[in-house]
Amino acid sequence: MASFVGRTVKLILLLLFLTTTCDAKTYVGITNDLGGGMNLTFHCKSADDELGVKVLPPQQYYEFSFKPTLIGRTDFYCSFQ
């Protein structure tokens, strides 16, 4: 945790492809491109899904998917450290 404290962290976050097709799921991919050997800690959730806190090592990729509601929209909230 000390690596997060007292340091200016340059965040270069790549949120990759948010793709939707009619019938299918929406996929969200996250790549840790922070550099400097830093882990990316993130926490994503929507009203329906709680993905929990994840730690992504350098250059690693994480993907999750959800089924959008037919009417309206699905909001996902993510925080990154």
Ligand X SMILES: *[C@@H]1O[C@H](CO)[C@@H](O)[C@H](O)[C@H]1NC(C)=O
Give the contact letters, 5-34, x = binds to ligand X (CB under 6 A), - = no. ------------------------------
C-alpha to C-alpha distance for 56 and 33, rounded to whole angstroms? 10
Q: How far is the CB of 15 from ligand X (least distance, A)?
A: 21
57/68 with CB nearer ligand X: 57
Cα 51 to Cα 6, 35, 44, 70, 76, distances in angstroms: 28, 24, 6, 22, 10
C-alpha to C-alpha distance for 78 and 81, rounded to whole angstroms? 10
Of 20, 55, 63, 68, the one binding ligand X by CB under 6 A: 55
Q: How far is the CB of 49 from ligand X (least distance, A)?
A: 23
69: left (phi over 0), alpha (psi -120 to 50) or beta: beta
* Selected range binding ligand X among 11-19, 24-32, 37-45, 59-67, rule: CB under 6 A: 37-45
